[in-house]
A and B are shown apart, each in its own frame.
Chain A
Amino acid sequence: MRRYLYCYNTIVSFSEPIGNHEFLIRCLPVLGEYMSVEEEHLVLPPDYWKHHGTDTFNNRIVYGGNREPHSALAYVSTGIISMHPYRINNDSLPFSIWLQPTHLTTIISSFSFPPSLLDDTKLAEMSLMEKAESIMHNVNSYLSYVPFSTDVETTAQEVVESRQGVCQDFSHLMIAICRIQGIPARYACGFVEGTGETHAWVEVYDAHQNCWVGFDPTHDIRIEYGYVKLAHGRDAADCPVSRGQYNGFTNQQTQINVILKEV
C-alpha cells in the first residue's frame, strides 16, 4: 500500500459578470478496492447551491448553480488516499457498452491500418493482456505528443489521420483499436505525479482476473501505482472533470493546478 496527497484546484474567472451559472464536476477520487480515502475536503464557494451524487458510471459528481451575477468560480479538492495496485472490479452496467464504438472512438471500417499500428496476424497469437499492451506500444509510437494540437471534440478518426495529439487522443485511439479487436476498453481520467494538470488513460477488462487494469498509452506504461482516478466512461465526453454553462458575454479564463505526491 502507498499513500498519496492530492490537491486539485480550479479558478474560473469571467471578465464581465455572468448569471444563471450551472456546473457539474468530477473532482473526487473514485472509491473502491484499489483506492480508499483517508481524508478529503472539497471547498466550493458558499453562494452556489450544490449537491453530491453519482453518475451512471458510479463516478462521484458534485453539481449546482448560482443564478445571481458573479465573476468567478473557484474550488479546491484535496485529501490523502491510500492506494493498492491498479485493479478495479466490474460494476453492474451492461458489459457490451465497453465494446461499442462511440462518436469519439469510431474509426471508419474502410480505414486501412498501417501494420505498425495494427497487425491482425501478430495479435492473433497473443493473450488479451498482451494484445492490449501491444496496442498501447503501437499507439504510443504511432502518435506524437503535441500540446494544443487537438481539442476535446477531436475524434479517434481525426487522430489516426493527423498522427498527433495529447493524452485524451492517445487514449481514444487505443480504446478504438481495442474495441475493434473485441477487447472491452474504457476511458479514465484523474491525476498523475508531476504533470500539474489532469491526465487521461485507458482501462482494459482482464477476463482472467475479472477486473479492469490500467494502461497509459501516453507514457507507454502499464499502471500499478500513482494514478488517482476521478472518473471513467465510454470516452472523454462521458466523464469530463468539469462542465458548466452560464449566460453572459465574457472572456473566460480557467486556471487549473494539480499536485500529487506520495507521502
Chain B
Amino acid sequence: MSININELTNSRDTVNRWMERFGVRFGVYKHGVFNEQLFPFDSVPRIIKHSDWEYLESGLKQRVTALNMFLWDIYHDKNIIKDGVVPEEFVYSSKGYMPECEGISPQGKIYSHISGIDLVEGKDDKWYVLEDNLRIPSGASYPMIARNVSRKVSPSTFASNAIADNRDYANLLRDMMDDMNDNRGIAVIYTPGRYNSAFFEHSYLAEKTGATLAYPGDLFVENDVVYYAGMFHEKTRVGCIYRRISDEYMDPMVFESSSLLGIPNIMQAYKAGNVALINGIGNGVADDKGIYYFVPKMVKYYLGEESILQNAPTYLPYFKEDYDYVIANIDKLVIKDVSEAGGYGVVFGSELSPEKLEELKQLVIKEPRRWIAQEVVEFKDLEIIEGEELVWRKADLRAFVVSSSKDVRVWRSGLTRFSRNPDSYVVNSSQGGGFKDTWVALED
C-alpha cells in the first residue's frame, strides 16, 4: 500500500492552529518555574505496515501478559525466584519493589492495566524493546487528538488510505475501567493537578472516557471504602481509580508521610479489595532497568513460549560471561546504572575520555550488580519537517497495551517521539522533542 500524505503535510499550519485551539500542551519546569508549552507536532506520520503491526501486537500482548504474571508472582509465591530464573538480589534491591504490597491481590491478577512499551525500529528492520513503563505511562492523548485534527484538516488522506482509527483509545480505557470497577461505584481519573506535566492528558482522557476527574481532597476513605465528596457533604462510592500520581504519594499513612496529594488510608481499602487502582501499586519492580534483562526469560517461564519481541542486546556484569564481555567492550556499549539514587545515569562508552572510561570500568569491577550494559542499537531515523525541508531524526515508539481481567488489547497506534537535535538519541518531550501520530495500516 502506498500512502500519500502530501495534502496533510501541506496543511500543517492549519493542523498546528487546531492543536493550539484545543490546548494540546505539556508542562515543563525550568529553573523552578512551571510553564505550559505546546507539544511540537510533526504532521508526517509514522506508518506501520499491517504485517509489522500483527507481529508487534502479538509480541506486546505476550510481553505484558508475562509482566503481569511476574508482578503477581513477586508479591505472592515468588516461584520465579525459587526456580532460579531471576536472582533475588535483582528483585529486592529494586527501588520499585514495595514490601507493603506483599500479599495484596489486585482484581483479576492485573497490576499493569495500562502499559507503555517503548520500542525502536533498528536499521536491521527489527523492532527492539528499550523499556517497559508499567507505572503511569503517559502520552496516548496526543496522537488521539492529533488524529482528530488531521482528519478534519485533510479528510481525503484518510478517505483514500485504510488507517486504523486510533480515537478508540477512550473506549479501550472505558471498557477496562468498567471491568475493574465491577459496578461498585464511579470511576475516576485522579490527577495531582494542573502543575503536573501531563495534566492535559489527565483532563482530556477524563472527558473522552466519561470518568470523573478527581483532585487531591476530592476522595476520602471511610470504613475501607473510597468516596468522592460532594459540595453538600454528600458522597458517592468510587470503584476504580485511574491514578496519575506515583506510588509513594498515594497514601501518607503508609508511604511518604508529607504527601498532600494522597488519599489517607487508601492502601487499606485497596488491600480489602474495595477499590481497583489503575495501575496497581508496586509495579516499579517489573519495569526496573535491572529486571528488563529478564523479561524474555519471564515469557518463557510463565507462558512456555519464546519471546516474540526482542530486547536490545543487554548484558548483566553480575553474570560471569557477561562481565567478561562488558569489561572487554566497555568502549562500545551503553552503560546504565541500576541503582537510581545518586546514580551515574546512562552513558555511552564511546563518548568517554580514556580516564573516564577506566574510572567506569573500575566501578563495574567493584560492584558488578549495579550495572547493565547494552549494545548501541542503530535506530532507523524518521522524516520530520523542519521549516520547509525534510530532515531525518531519531525516533522511538511508545505502544500502549490495556489489560483487564477479560482481555489484553493493544491500541492500534502509539506515541512516536522524535528528537529535534540531529545528534541526539534522547526523544524525551521535556528535552525539546516533538511527537508524531502513528498510523497502523489496515492492509499490506
Chain B residue at smallest Cβ distance from A240 = B257
In the bound complex, CA of A56 to CA of B103 (Å): 8
Interface residues on B, range: 20 to 34
Tell me whether A108 is interfacial, beta carbon within 8 Å: yes
Complex-state Cα separation, A20 to B257, whole angstroms: 16
- Chain A hits for B254, CB < 8 A: 24, 55
List the B side residues contacting A194 at CB < 8 Å.
none
Q: Do A97 and B99 have beta carbons less than 8 Å apart?
A: yes
Say whether A84 faces chain B, with CB atoms less than 8 Å apart.
Answer: no
A106→B91 CA distance, assembly (Å): 18
The interface residues of chain B lying within 8 Å CB-to-CB of A96 are: 88-89, 91-93
With an 8 A cutoff between CB atoms, is B359 at the interface? Answer: no
A51 touches B102 (CB 8 A): no
Contact between A245 and B252 (Cβ–Cβ < 8 Å)? yes
Report whether B99 and A237 are in contact in the complex, using a CB–CB cutoff of 8 Å.
no
The answer to whether B220 and A22 touch across the interface, beta carbons within 8 angstroms, is yes
A-B contacts counted at CB < 8 A amount to: 68
The winner among A106, A243, A247 for most chain B CB atoms within 10 A is A243
**Is A93 interfacial (CB-CB < 8 Å)?**
yes
Contact B265 A237 (CB under 8 A): no
* Interface-side segment among B39-47, B182-190, B221-229: B221-229
Given A94-B92, A96-B89, decide whether A243 and B252 contact each other with a Cβ distance below 8 A. Answer: yes
Given contacts A24-B253, A51-B224, A94-B92, contact A245 B264 (CB under 8 A): yes
Given A24-B265, A94-B78, A108-B342, do A245 and B253 touch, yes or no (CB 8 Å)? Answer: yes
Q: How many Å from the CB of B99 to the closest CB on chain A?
A: 5
CA distance A23 to B265 in the complex (A): 8
**Who on chain A is nearest to B224 by CB?**
A51
- Residue of A53, A94, A247 contacting most chain B CB atoms (<10 Å): A94
Contact B265–A63 (Cβ < 8 Å): yes
Which residues of A are at the interface with B, using a C-beta cutoff of 8 A? 20, 22-24, 49, 51, 53, 55-57, 63-65, 67, 93-94, 96-97, 100, 103, 106, 108, 234, 237, 240, 243, 245, 247
19 example contacts (A-B, Cβ-Cβ < 8 A) are as follows: A20-B217, A20-B220, A22-B220, A22-B221, A22-B265, A23-B253, A51-B224, A51-B268, A53-B271, A55-B100, A56-B102, A57-B99, A65-B221, A93-B99, A93-B102, A94-B88, A94-B91, A94-B92, A97-B99
Residue ranges of B at the interface with A (Cβ–Cβ < 8 Å): 78, 88-89, 91-93, 99-103, 217, 220-224, 252-254, 257, 260, 264-265, 268, 271, 341-342
With A64-B265, A96-B89 given, name 5 new contacts (CB 8 A). A56-B100, A93-B102, A94-B92, A243-B252, A245-B252
